[in-house]
Structure 1
Amino acid sequence: MKWSEIMIHTTNEAIEPISNILHEAGASGVVIEDPFDLVKEREDQFGEIYQLNPDDYPEEGVIIKAYLSVNSFLGETVEEIKQAINNLALFNIDIGQNHVTISEVNEEEWATAWKKYYNPVKISEKFTIVPTWEKYEAVSSDELIIELDPGMAFGTGTHPTTVMCIQALERTVKQNDTVIDVGTGSGVLSIAAALLGASQVTALDLDEVAVQSAKLNVKLNKVQDKVTVSKNDLLNGMNGQVDVVVSNILAEVIMSFTDDVAKAVKPNGYFIASGIIQQKKDQVKDAIISSGFTIVETIVMEDWIAFIAKRG
């Protein structure tokens, strides 16, 4: 089978929405070439993680690659992808150069090319993300390992917005807590919450592909007795209250449902919000506070912001 590689030169801000557009168009996974990966400071904190070739990365901006099967609908699909990316500007999302190129690769190249970007990565004091095909042994007895298969993807668990969420979960989730993960994607945050001791985790996503991907990863990490994955639009129709709500989605979406989060979180419970670019930090902060939360910690990684907020 022949595959077509679509390559988009864009910005950090546009990574998540463009990745979702590609998945919705039928891509089985995405590769993100971000020059920030070459200079991340976390290697110094957690030790050498992996080696990267600077020649694989753009001098500025970010390159997102995805692979689509070559068929009679390919041209139409590519045009729909381009239009959907252009429409992001309507939401004040900076799409940068937005330079799109298409090239053809054979199945053998496609099957292995993206794997070189995905290696075991220690992302916090406790957690290491490990791809399913890699052999990895815990360095310490308290290390927690999350295995992910990004074949259906929605991120490899190592994007700054995800890393900050996991670090925030470490600081907030207690034994037997209940958690809701809004916009679960690969399910990585739900898995992390379960491994940290949460007794019940509800993982929600509107995208059916994400739901299936999360279910596979939950089972892979043997936490299906604690994590329930469902298709749902944000918190619509959800009843009861939980100890922690975590959401790693677009800033605009976070601002649209902070009141619903306040209803879903117990008094003295926590709301972890990530996926926020620096330019929208104050807007999101104001929305969270206006819904009755107090910001107890602001986490910053590269150009991204995450808030840990406590309900009064």
Structure 2
Amino acid sequence: MKKSTGKVTIWDVAEQAQVSKSTVSLVLTNSDKVSKKSKEKVLAAIDKLGYVYNRDAAALRSKRSNLVALVINDLTNPYSAQLAVGLEKHIFELGMLPMLVNIAECVERQTQVVKTLKEYNVSAFIMCPAPGTQQQWQDDLINSGFPVINIMREIPFSAAPCILPDNKKGTHISTSHILSQGIEEIAFLGGTSEISDYHERLSGFLSALDQFNIADEKPVIQAPTNRQGGREAFNTLIKQAPNTKAIVCFNDVIAYGAIEAMRQHGLEPGKDIKVIGFDDLEDSRLMLPSLSTIAINADEIGKRTCQVLKELLDKSTPPVRTLVDVNLKIRDSSQ
């Protein structure tokens, strides 16, 4: 017996379609355990009664909505926000609607967010995965019928295609820029081992040292990828290696924090210690000294991502791994 609440309920849909409530539930969850005829009756009743929005009813018919979930690791990071804007533009150009969510670098929050977004029958997930994301979890999401694209970070051996900046090249050329000036008292600051881009950027740092035949081990300080992480990393470094003359930072935000800590120690960035970041945020060219950095074209990341998205939605096979080129911006902090 349905309750009279003034709102259209699942009982109303069942009565209109002349099926059971459980049959309506099966249709709403896209179950294969319901006949085509029953499904058509339920969808017709949904349309007639207005039980769901039209876009949801259309999604049930096609098993696809026009929504694309953008699961971003940390929207407090300026580059993540810049990247989200670029993605939104290209998703709109595909005639689709982005749903932007912030997971704050928390794998538990990511799991809950994805679970909820699945109920909206999104067409695909574009995600910068949180530290600790497991390959099996992502593969299970793909196997349940949701296309997944990783951006900026890679989950090793995941079935999801990924679009990445050429991280190794970036830190290789930035480190080489420092070493070519005859400076060997150099360190790598920031990032944590749980994320793939940390390993790629550290690899570029180490490959440049190898190319310049520098065999002695250089300080590598892990830290969260935020401003406070940069401060803490520099404070640790200056205790371990007080003669440091240059730092290659995981990203620009780490560099900002390191520069603040540097000044607290009475050191002048760009003169006493040279600094290079990664991302080329807007503030990096405006600060004093202007920050040398590796530029990533966020719009190109967005464009390449949506090319892969279109291929996935068209049931074709996109490249497993797409690298977007980067370039070094030499400014006052490293000259």
For Structure 1 versus Structure 2, the TM-score category normalised by the shorter chain is: 0.3 to 0.5
Whose strand fraction is larger, Structure 1's or Structure 2's?
1
Name the structure with the higher helix share: 2
TM-score by length of 2: 0.37
TM-score by length of 1: 0.39
Q: Which has the larger radius of gyration?
A: 2
